[in-house]
Amino acid sequence: MSDDNSKRLTIYDLAQLAQSSPSTVSAVLNGTWQQRRISHKLADRILALAHAEGYSINMQARALRRERSGIVGMIVPMYDNRYFSSIAQAFEAEARRRGLFTIVSCTNRDPEQEREAARMMLAYRVEHLVCTGATAPDAIAEMCAAAGVPCLNLDLPGTRAPSVISANREGALRLTLAILDRLAAAGKPEQPVLFIGGRGEDHNTRERVMGFRQARRSRGLDTSDTDVLICGYEADRAQVAFQDYVERLGGPPGALFINSTISLEGIVRWLRLRGYDLDAIVLGCFDWDPLAAAFHPRLMMARQDVPAMIERVFELIDEPAKARNRRVEVLPTLIGV
Partner DNA sequence: TGGTGTTGCACAATCGGTTGTGCATTTTTG
Partner DNA sequence: CAAAAATGCACAACCGATTGTGCAACACCA
Half-sphere exposure of 232 (CA within 13 A, CB side): 10
Nearest-angstrom CA–CA distance, 129 and 103: 10
Contact 216, 279 (CB under 8 A): no
Which stretch, 16-24, 27-35, 96-104, 329-337, contacts a second copy (CB under 8 A)? 96-104
Give residues in contact with DNA (CB under 7 A). 7-8, 10-12, 19-24, 26-27, 29-30, 32, 36-39, 41-42, 57-58, 61-62, 64-67
| CA 117 from centre of chain | 16
24 interacts with, out of DNA, a second copy, none, CB within 5 to 8 A per kind: DNA
Maximum C-alpha span of the chain: 87
Which stretch, 17-25, 36-44, 157-165, 291-299, contacts a second copy (CB under 8 A)? 291-299
29 interacts with, out of DNA, a second copy, none, CB within 5 to 8 A per kind: DNA
269 interacts with, out of a second copy, DNA, none, CB within 5 to 8 A per kind: a second copy
Nearest-angstrom CA–CA distance, 285 and 290: 12
Minimum CB distance to a second copy, residue 214 (Å): 29
The total of other beta-carbon atoms located within 10 Å of residue 115's CB is 16
Residue closer to a second copy (CB basis): 236 or 311 = 236
Minimum CB distance to DNA, residue 116 (Å): 18
Residue closer to a second copy (CB basis): 291 or 321 = 291
- Asked if 331 touches a second copy (CB under 8 A), the answer is no
- Asked if 193 touches a second copy (CB under 8 A), the answer is no
The total of other beta-carbon atoms located within 10 Å of residue 14's CB is 21
**In sequence order, what are the beta bridge partners of 79?**
none
- Asked if 307 touches a second copy (CB under 8 A), the answer is no
21 interacts with, out of a second copy, DNA, none, CB within 5 to 8 A per kind: DNA
* CA-wise closest residue to 325 among 145, 168, 160: 160
97 interacts with, out of DNA, a second copy, none, CB within 5 to 8 A per kind: none
* CA-wise closest residue to 240 among 265, 277, 220, 204: 265
Q: Name the strand (E) or helix (H) holding 293.
A: helix 290-295
Residue closer to a second copy (CB basis): 76 or 177 = 76
End-to-end CA distance of the chain: 59
Residue 190's SS3 state is coil
**Which spans of this chain sit near a second copy (rule: CB under 8 A)?**
1-2, 4, 8, 54, 56-61, 63-64, 69, 78-82, 85-86, 88-89, 92-93, 101-106, 119-120, 122-125, 145-148, 235, 261, 264-266, 268-269, 272-273, 278, 289-297
